[in-house]
Amino acid sequence: MKIFIISAAFAVISAAGFAQTKSTYVDGVKVTQQEADKLKMEDVASMQIDKDGNHITTRTAACNAYWTYFKSKSTQYASLVPTIQELYKVQYIINGTVLTTNFDNTLAGVNDNNFISIAIVDNTTLSKNYGVADKPYGVIIKTRPTQAK
């Protein structure tokens, strides 16, 4: 389903008339449509189309956002995930949901407006409480529900 949505969004963004009237931004930087078209779907965390243009967030930017944020909230997380290359060595769980695929944008959406807590659990707790046995640690994140705009 996500691949269909991303494909449809790329099709809309790439439409000749639409591309001429809208600006395209990748990770907050204005780019040409040709530069945006070079992105691979698996490198895109999210796409948003609004009145000022098409906004694409890459997985790299999303990962950097949540890694930086979680390090600022937990010294234990910072020591377990000391580099961005080690993001996936832990299991992320947000509001009781075990995140397994395509979750970078979900985690990047955690911020001071919705953040409640972050906790680290060991493999035994992770396996017993969440059924995850293949990761050494779990990162449990609690957030407030987002308010509709």
User: Which pLDDT tens digit goes with each residue over 38-59?
Assistant: 999 999 999 999 888 999 999 9
Shared-domain flag, residues 41 and 66: no
81 shares a domain with 45: no
Q: Are residues 75 and 127 in the same domain?
A: yes
Domain that holds residue 77: 61-143
Whether residue 120 is found in the same domain as residue 83: yes
The verdict on 66 and 139 lying in the same domain is yes
Sorted by sequence, the CB contacts under 8 Å of residue 99 that are 6+ apart come out as: 91, 92, 93, 106, 107
HSE of 144, CA atoms in CB hemisphere, 13 A: 9
Considering the domain architecture, whether residues 130 and 65 belong to the same structural domain is answered as: yes
Same domain, 71 and 139: yes
Higher pLDDT, 16 or 44: 44
Residue 111 has pLDDT above 70, yes or no: yes
In a domain, 148, yes or no: no
Domain co-membership, 82 together with 116: yes
Kindly state whether residue 102 falls inside one of the protein's structural domains: yes
- DSSP assignment of 56-101 equals EEEHHHHHHHHHHHHHHH-HHHHHHS-SGGGGGGSEEEETTEEP-S
Cβ 145 vs Cβ 94: under 8 Å: no
Question: Would residue 36 count as lying in a domain?
Answer: yes
| In the predicted structure, residue 83 carries a pLDDT above the cut 90 | yes
70 shares its domain with 13:
no
125-149 pLDDT per residue, tens:
999 999 999 999 999 999 998 765 5
User: Residues 138, 68: one domain?
Assistant: yes
- In the chain, how many domains are there? 2
Q: Is residue 32 domain-shared with residue 77, that is, in the same domain?
A: no
User: Is position 149 within any domain?
Assistant: no
